[in-house]
């Protein structure tokens, strides 16, 4: 039987694929340390959980508006205003079942078949598949250690064609942890302000920034505000990955299209999760700051530990909770009949020989690198680096 060509062209998320393999090895009794997942290891703060429980006890378990509950939309409007200097109206906000859902909804509402979406590599694993799902065309521009894993205005301008519909930005970035400065984003804004091009900006890691750097939202620039879709969510900053709440802000016309689509696709997000998210957005910021400080400490620890392994080329991230580093010096080497030839075989080797799980850079569009999350305890990170070093020392 012939199935959908679009659906048939989509591959499974590589990060979830690696996680599944690690779980299988663990179930077989192997002592595997995993550094592949993109989620904080901290529990969801108790008062957020309590808000969810209270929602159930109060009977907040029925249908609500397709765009999200009025209470959460009000809290998001205040969040955008106070933290990002963006004055969205309630009608310009749509809440969805996770930032991933918000991203897909935005691309669906923006793109026609054959439209082009400019993005950088390395990129988050789902971007390419989402663009393909809406029958648009990804235009991938390479970045590197030398460019700080960030696009330049010159690169973007050279890639613009009459078919360009949107530029997809991610700051802080998954997998590299790169953070665009205000100046860099203003330069990109200048590039599109007189063009019929949207910017879709994924800001899910905005609260996880280090070294005293700060986050800047490109939609706060008045001249391009209505050409921007700002994506955010609860999963990373509030350790609410399983609660599945994301949201976006954009102009009213596009927000209506997204809301209408969502009303037929999923109805609306979970009312219980939305009630908990209201509590999260209103909580004392010191809770999130405490997690951010722990992540920065772990980043420094892992970066220093990996720096002691000869052959690795490291990039110190300014945001998110990953190290994305070059392992290509080990390509062509082998041990016990296993030859490392690319990022996928590298990860297979260290998983089988060192019992540590990391994600191949091929999944992010850079086959020279791998991604290792530091959303784990220092004890696990220390043991992971030890196992990695021992496995790599065996390669000849």
Mean pLDDT for the stretch of residues 68-85: 98
Confidence of residue 316 (pLDDT cuts 50, 70, 90): very high
Q: Where are the domains of the chain?
A: 5-43+286-393, 46-284
Q: Do domains 5-43+286-393 and 46-284 have the same CATH topology?
A: no
> From 3.90.1150.10, 3.20.20.140, 3.90.1640.10, 1.10.260.40, which CATH number describes the 5-43+286-393 domain?
3.90.1150.10
User: How confident is the model over 214-267, as pLDDT tens digits?
Assistant: 999 999 999 999 999 999 999 999 999 999 999 999 999 999 999 999 999 999
pTM: 0.95
pLDDT at position 198, please?
98
CA distance 32 to 348: 13
Tokens coding 391: 């496995």
Residue (of 232, 247, 249) closest to 91 by Cα position: 249
Spatial neighbors of 27 by CB under 8 A, at least 6 apart, are: none
CA distance 316 to 307: 10
Confidence of residue 14 (pLDDT cuts 50, 70, 90): low
pLDDT at 74 over 90: yes
pLDDT at 139 over 90: yes
pLDDT at position 385, please?
98
pLDDT at 45 over 90: yes
pLDDT at position 20, please?
72
pLDDT cut 90: percent of the chain above it: 90
pLDDT at 6 over 90: no
CATH topology of domain 46-284: 3.40.640
Mean pLDDT for the stretch of residues 343-357: 93
Among positive and negative, which fits the CA dihedral 159, 163, 169, 173?
A: negative
pLDDT at position 30, please?
79
């Amino acid at each position: 039987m012939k199935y959908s060509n679009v659906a048939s062209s989509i591959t499974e998320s590589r990060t979830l694929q690696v996680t599944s393999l690690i779980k299988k090895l663990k179930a077989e009794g192997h002592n595997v340390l995993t550094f592949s997942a993109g989620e904080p290891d901290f529990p969801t703060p108790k008062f957020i959980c309590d808000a969810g429980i209270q929602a159930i006890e109060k009977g907040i378990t029925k249908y609500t508006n397709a765009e999200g509950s009025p209470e959460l939309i009000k809290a998001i409007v205040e969040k955008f205003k106070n933290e990002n200097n963006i004055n969205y109206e309630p009608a310009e906000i749509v809440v969805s079942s996770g930032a991933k859902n918000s991203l897909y909804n935005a691309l669906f509402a923006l793109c026609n078949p054959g439209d082009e979406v400019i993005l950088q590599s390395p990129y988050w694993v789902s971007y390419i598949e989402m663009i393909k799902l809406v029958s648009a065309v990804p235009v991938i521009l390479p970045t590197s250690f030398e460019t700080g894993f960030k696009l330049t205005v010159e690169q973007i301008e050279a890639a613009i064609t009459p078919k360009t519909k949107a530029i997809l930005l991610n700051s802080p970035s998954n997998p590299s942890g790169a953070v665009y400065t205000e100046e860099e984003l203003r330069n990109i804004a200048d590039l599109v302000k007189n063009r019929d091009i949207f910017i879709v900006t994924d800001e899910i890691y905005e609260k996880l920034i280090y070294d005293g750097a700060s986050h800047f939202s490109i939609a706060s620039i008045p001249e391009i505000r209505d050409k921007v879709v700002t994506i955010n969510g609860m999963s990373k900053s509030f350790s609410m990955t399983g609660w599945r709440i994301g949201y976006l802000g954009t102009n009213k016309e596009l927000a209506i299209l997204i809301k209408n689509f969502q009303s037929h696709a999923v109805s609306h997000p979970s009312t219980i999760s939305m009630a908990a998210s209201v509590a999260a957005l209103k909580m004392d910021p010191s809770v999130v700051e405490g997690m951010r400080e722990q992540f920065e400490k772990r980043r420094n620890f892992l970066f220093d530990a990996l720096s002691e392994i000869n052959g690795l080329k490291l990039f110190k991230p300014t945001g998110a909770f990953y190290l994305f580093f070059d392992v290509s010096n080990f390509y062509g080497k082998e041990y016990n009949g296993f030859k490392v030839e690319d990022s996928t075989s590298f990860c297979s080797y260290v998983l089988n020989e060192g019992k540590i799980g990391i994600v191949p850079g091929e999944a992010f569009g850079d086959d020279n690198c791998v991604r290792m999350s530091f959303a784990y305890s220092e004890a696990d990170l220390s043991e992971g680096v030890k196992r990695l070093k021992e496995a790599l020392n065996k390669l000849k």
